[in-house]
Amino acid sequence: MKFFVDTADVAAIAELNALGMVDGVTTNPSLILKSGRDILEVTKEICGIVSGPVSAEVVSLKADEMIAEGRKLAKIAPNIAVKVPLTWDGLKACKTLSDEGHMVNVTLCFSANQALLAAKAGATFISPFVGRLDDINLDGMELIADIRTIYDNYDFRTQILAASIRTVNHAAECARIGADVMTAPPDVIRKLASHPLTDAGLAQFMKDWEKTGQKIL
């Protein structure tokens, strides 16, 4: 499973990228706001750090305006994936932009039928939002599994980009189901390394090592 980082925080992206943990980046208007940066400038900087797909989201609601924004965003770098919302206009923009050879990430997906439409419109990525479904007492992970089954049934090439990943359990479950990509905030990716038994085991080893009175260096 590929790891995308869900942030426009350049320092956090660079740190994780140096560890080989970053296969791509996703941003959205809320993350741009959080960064306090200009969308074009920060996206260009991110594309200079990460060689994989970097999603940059359009902000118009009409297809023709989304297409114009998408073309402008795609000029930032060859690894831009234009992010469009899962509306009828967004699907039209997806079809046009993907026919032009751009990577397209269709976002705000909350149902299997929406994912089916995005695949038919030529999406490179579909972004089902796991955490936001859990927030309203639905099962976000069930949606990932349903989309996996449907895409495999018909051999759709659209990649399942599990988004709104909030917990380490979300990440493990996505990998078990076979999501192609998960995008998670930097702190969730860092937490994947944590386990209380690792901490306890290491503390015991350190205590015992001290008692040996030895040194390696």
Distance, CA of 111 to CA of 147 (rounded, Å): 8
83 is catalytic: yes
How many other C-beta atoms can be found within 10 angstroms of the C-beta atom of residue 23? 18
Q: Is 36 left (phi over 0), alpha (psi -120 to 50) or beta?
A: left
**Shortest Å, Cβ 173 to ligand G3P:** 16
**Shortest Å, Cβ 199 to ligand G3P:** 26
**Shortest Å, Cβ 131 to ligand G3P:** 5
Of these, 109, 164, 177, 189, which contacts ligand G3P (CB under 6 A)? 164
User: What are the start-end ranges of the H helices in the chain?
Assistant: 10-18, 29-35, 39-49, 63-74, 88-99, 112-120, 130-135, 140-154, 168-177, 186-191, 196-212
Nearer to ligand G3P, 35 or 68 (CB): 35
Site string for ligand G3P, 2-41 (x = CB under 6 A): ----x-------------------x-x-------------
Nearer to ligand G3P, 33 or 203 (CB): 33
Of these, 8, 133, 163, 174, which contacts ligand G3P (CB under 6 A)? 163
How many residues of this chain bind ligand G3P (CB under 6 A)? Answer: 10
Contact between residue 174 and residue 162 where contact means Cβ atoms under 8 Å apart: yes
With CA atoms as reference, report the closest residue to 11 among 41, 35, 44. 35
Q: From 15-23, 114-122, 158-166, 167-175, give the range in contact with ligand G3P by CB under 6 A.
A: 158-166
**Shortest Å, Cβ 4 to ligand G3P:** 8
Q: From 16-24, 116-124, 150-158, 163-171, give the range in contact with ligand G3P by CB under 6 A.
A: 163-171
Q: Kindly write down the DSSP assignment for every residue of 141-200, as one continuous string.
A: HHHHHHHHHHHHHHT---EEEEBS--SHHHHHHHHHHT-SEEEE-HHHHHHTT--HHHHH
Catalytic residue among 2, 44, 83, 215, which? 83
Distance, CA of 21 to CA of 3 (rounded, Å): 7
Under the binding rule (CB under 6 A), the answer on residue 131 touching ligand G3P is: yes
**Shortest Å, Cβ 135 to ligand G3P:** 8
Q: Applying CB under 6 A, which residues contact ligand G3P?
A: 6, 26, 28, 129, 131-132, 163-164, 166, 183
Residues carrying an active site annotation:
83
